[in-house]
Amino acid sequence: MPHLTTSAADPATVDTEVLVVGLFTGDDGPVLAPGAASVAAAWEGLTDDLDLLGATGAAATVTKLPAAGRLGAKLLVAVGLGKEGDVTDETLRRAAGAAARAAAGRASVTIAIDGDAEQLGLGALLGSYQFEGFKSDDPDRKWPVDTVTVLGSGDTERAQALANAVYQARDWVNTPSNLLRPSILADQAAAAANTAGLGVEVLDENALRAGGYGGILAVGQGSEAPPRLVRLTYRAPNATKHVALVGKGITFDTGGISIKPAAGMWDMITDMGGAAAVAGTMLAVAALKPGVNVTGYLALAENMPSGSAYRPGDVITTYGGKTVEVLNTDAEGRMVMCDALVRAAEDNPDVIYDAATLTGGQVIALGKRTAGVMGTDAECARVKAVGERLGEPAWPMPFPEEIKKLMESSVADVKQCGTGLERSGHMLQAGVFLSHFVAEDMPWAHIDVAGPASHGGEPYGYTVAGATGRPVRTLVALIEEHAAS
């Protein structure tokens, strides 16, 4: 990861490989944004040159041109900010991310744009991310920059901590499942947490069996790689509030006996994105030290078909004693989550947030960038507001009476999902199911990031192809809100 710093140097003379300036969209062409006045003075006709190259100032667009001795930098990158009156923190993050990505292969980048250094730095770090991968030789690869310097002031240590957490979550989600089975992810998360100073508890299959964690065990019993439940704890001095987090960690999802189609199944390496986000959030919490206690649960299993796999028609006794009628083994995420939610409530938190790549229904309903949020009204509204501010959009969804009725079972306390043609409202079915395992008076929000956790298209702003690390930044902000209230 690049090292982030700030400086008060003159942008025209600063010793850097790449200098980034901002452009507004003007009526008669691009307009240089504040922060680079000395650059304009040193480079007569700069905006005319940029206009000639097609630069418009449209948000997050990038134009590159050699400085040719006119600046201390070797290369100038002009990044669009849109209309001057429309610039937000998200505009700055996306612009810095696009510029940093365009500078790949260079050692140093300096950003000369007036704005919050934390937001500019965070965007640049997130946009610089590359998964190291497993190619034995890749001579054409352009590695990310080593150093990002923002000419201004701001909390760059916070930006670095958030980026570290998102990077770790992205790395876990991008790792192939044969290299990240439940015990491996548990060990890696535990090692990272120990290094960060967090408390760690890992329940293996024997401890899960002894504790009655029937949901996690049911999903994991079809695999030779047994499941795990990881508990990470942060305790703040004199804290009076407690936030609990729960993450779905299906390290690979074949669908089990209700096997998925082969096409696209390779994307199921990302089905532990919720657990990765919760673990990343806990690492950020350890670095940022908010004044609130935080406990994170990672419910880890591999969903495989075999002679020992759980079956449609099974009735499973989950942690806490509730029984579930299984109708589709591909609705496995909610089975591991229900155990973890009940266990999390035993810690007596003031609020529970869970994150999961839970349903294809989320993508159908809201697309690939907007998470679905279900739970208690106040917490759903809080998640939506935080997401809007951070560029991680989320939309509250209802629990309709007909969906609640659909989840009633004649043989168990609750059905796992609808049957046959009763798959309407699939995202809502999952939320209603989980609500059976959260007390009515418990503030709670379930965040379905099936689409947002991974990006399959061209990079944009600070979002790269592959894992996004969502909703790490949202969870951190929620925790900080509770710490401040």
Per the omega criterion (within 30 degrees of 0), is the bond before 398 cis? no
The residue count of the chain comes to 485
Strands (E), 136-215: 147-151, 199-203
Which of 186, 359, 177, 170 has the alpha carbon at shortest distance from 269? 177
User: Of these residues, 83, 260, 369, 389, which one is catalytic?
Assistant: 260
Q: Do 173 and 454 meet the contact criterion of CB atoms below 8 Å apart? A: yes
Whole-number Å distance between alpha carbons of 411 and 248? 26
User: Of these residues, 181, 228, 248, 334, which one is catalytic?
Assistant: 334
Strand, helix or coil for residue 21: strand
H-type alpha helices, 346-420: 360-366, 377-390, 401-406
Look up 334 and say whether it is catalytic. Answer: yes
Beta carbons within 8 Å of 217's beta carbon, 6+ residues apart: 205, 208, 209, 227
Beta carbons within 8 Å of 400's beta carbon, 6+ residues apart: 425, 428
What is the edge-to-edge ordering of all strands in the sheet holding 444-448?
199-203, 228-234, 293-303, 242-253, 351-356, 444-448, 371-375, 394-396
And the tokens for 428? 């809502």
Look up 260 and say whether it is catalytic. Answer: yes
Q: Do 124 and 149 meet the contact criterion of CB atoms below 8 Å apart? A: no
Whole-number Å distance between alpha carbons of 185 and 276? 9
* Ramachandran angles phi, psi of 168, nearest 5°: -65, -45
Query: Active-site residues: which are they?
Result: 260, 334
